[in-house]
Chain A
Amino acid sequence: MTEQEPSICEQKVYERIFRTHYEAVTRYIYFKCGDIQQAEDIVQNVFVKLWKLCSSVSFSKVKAYLYRAANNAFLNEKEHEKIVLKHLKKVSNPVDHENPEYLMQMEEFHEKLKNAIASLPQKEREVYLLSRVEKKTYAEIAEITGLGVKAIERRMSKALLQLRDVLGKELKFK
């Protein structure tokens, strides 16, 4: 509608938006559904729809539009019964001087952590992963989810508590 703003109907502008936001939105949906293929499908459909509606979405609001539309599309899909975050890989350590026994323990702990995150409720899980994996601030997460910062802090606190409940006994301190 705004003529002076870049029009999303222009292929170049559309591609720029795609390259800027596709990955982040897809990960956000992945954190919700735990299935990277499903996440990609959802977000690609959102972009196809954006192309159809290009003249009615304003450039300055496109980021919020994408997150909101992807979230709605996700809510319309059948919920996954069991979340497995198998695509969440550990950053490998190139040099390792640790002793093998310790490494094995860490490996085990790492698996348990992944399972614990996967079994968090969806709302807490997405906030936790956006914060710890995507390294987003609470304010940024609030913007993405359309919630207030207070609500994000509360979900984060719930997530931390639940992870500690499951994993705390693995960690003994002298």
Chain B
Amino acid sequence: MPMEEKYANEDFLARWLAEELSEEELVGFMTSDVYRQLMAIDEEARKLNSPKIDVEKALALVTAKNKQTIKEEPLIKRLRWLSAAAASIALLFAGYTYFFGNVTYTTGIGEKESVLLADGSLIEMNANSSLSYKRFGWEEDRAVDFEGEAFFDVRSGKDFKVRTQKGTISVLGTKFNVRDRKDLKIQCYEGSIVFTPADKELSPSQLSEGMEIYYGDGKINTKDFSGQVPDWKNGFSSFSRQPFSKVLEELALQFPVTFNMDSIQTDRLFTGKFTHNNLENALKTTMEPMGIKYLISADKRIVTLSE
């Protein structure tokens, strides 16, 4: 009986479900009555069937309701209601900006967004980034103005350009990550790319798969890296022997917080990672290893740090 008690225990079962039991524990468990009881219950439970739901009928109901609700009309349509003169001036202006204007996407602190371009190229933007390109003529002139961090998956075709303050990246068809914060970092995941620095003193560099360049303090360094996708796309940021100030910078990009610190040494090196979806977890995994105490204000805007 004491054995049975051991198995009929929340922690034990949770470990079993997570497949964390040792071989020995598993064998013992599988010959127990608890296990047989659970299996017998499970067998019956799996015979249960969800209720039938008539999707088409529900869709008809919802569609009928939708027809009654007045949707907010887009701006262009609303202009109809203005007087004719005002409308035509507005339309001319709107038309002008529409045809010759740019499409711009921006992400704020902690936001991520994917942009699919007309040729099927995909740009996945990390937090606090902005991207803009000409509304028309994309196939002819594949160029975007960009700042922040994003992962580019470019379809093959004409030359594709990413223009940043620090220089231009040209590619044909490939996958790469651009991180243009204080310093610029470009990682090439597929194919090859050419980076032309805005500074004419520096010469262009070519990168092939598995190579990254780091452009900071007026110098360009090339090295190899490994990994299939940038970490931020999986919802975390990771660091390897980086000054702690970089970690704080990145935290402030992913969470709308300001750091209040007096006596913190931010030049110590940090290796580790933090998640983007939970401030407390992120702080816990970064501050605790560094021996830093933190306090989050009630409105979750200010984090006070102390040794």
A-side residues, CB < 8 A to B, are 1-5, 9, 15, 18-19, 22-23, 26-27, 30, 36, 40, 43-44, 47-48, 51-52, 54-55, 58, 60, 87-91, 106, 109-110, 113-114, 117, 128-129, 132-134, 138, 149-150, 153-154, 156-158, 160-161, 163-164, 167-168, 171, 173
Q: Mark B54-83, 1 if CB is under 8 A from A, else 0.
A: 010011011001100101101000000000
Would A153 and B14 be within 8 Å (CB), given that A51-B69, A91-B47, A109-B44 are in contact? yes
Say yes or no for B105: interface residue by CB 8 A criterion: yes
Partner of A113, one of B16, B44, B62, B72: B44
Q: Which residues in chain B, 68-109, are within 8 Å of chain A measured between CB atoms?
A: 69, 71-72, 74, 103, 105
Partner of A5, one of B44, B47, B116: B116
A60 to B41, CA, bound (A): 38
Q: How far is the CB of A65 from chain B (nearest CB, A)?
A: 15
B45–A132 CB distance below 8 A: yes
Partner of B62, one of A3, A44, A87, A164: A44
Say yes or no for B200: interface residue by CB 8 A criterion: no
Complex interface: chain A residues within 8 A of B113 (CB): 2, 58
Can you list 18 A-B pairs with a CB-CB distance of less than 8 A?
A1-B105, A2-B113, A4-B116, A15-B59, A23-B53, A60-B114, A110-B47, A113-B41, A113-B45, A117-B45, A132-B45, A133-B48, A133-B49, A153-B17, A157-B11, A164-B34, A167-B37, A168-B37
Say yes or no for B181: interface residue by CB 8 A criterion: no
A19–B59 CB distance below 8 A: yes
Please, which residue of chain A has its CB at the minimum distance from the CB of B19? A153
Would A4 and B50 be within 8 Å (CB), given that A44-B62, A52-B69, A168-B37 are in contact? no
Q: For the A-B complex with A26-B58, A153-B18 known, give 18 more contacts whose Cβ atoms are closer than 8 Å.
A: A2-B114, A2-B116, A18-B58, A22-B55, A36-B51, A51-B62, A51-B69, A52-B71, A88-B49, A91-B47, A91-B48, A114-B48, A154-B14, A156-B14, A157-B14, A157-B17, A171-B36, A171-B41
B18–A150 CB distance below 8 A: yes
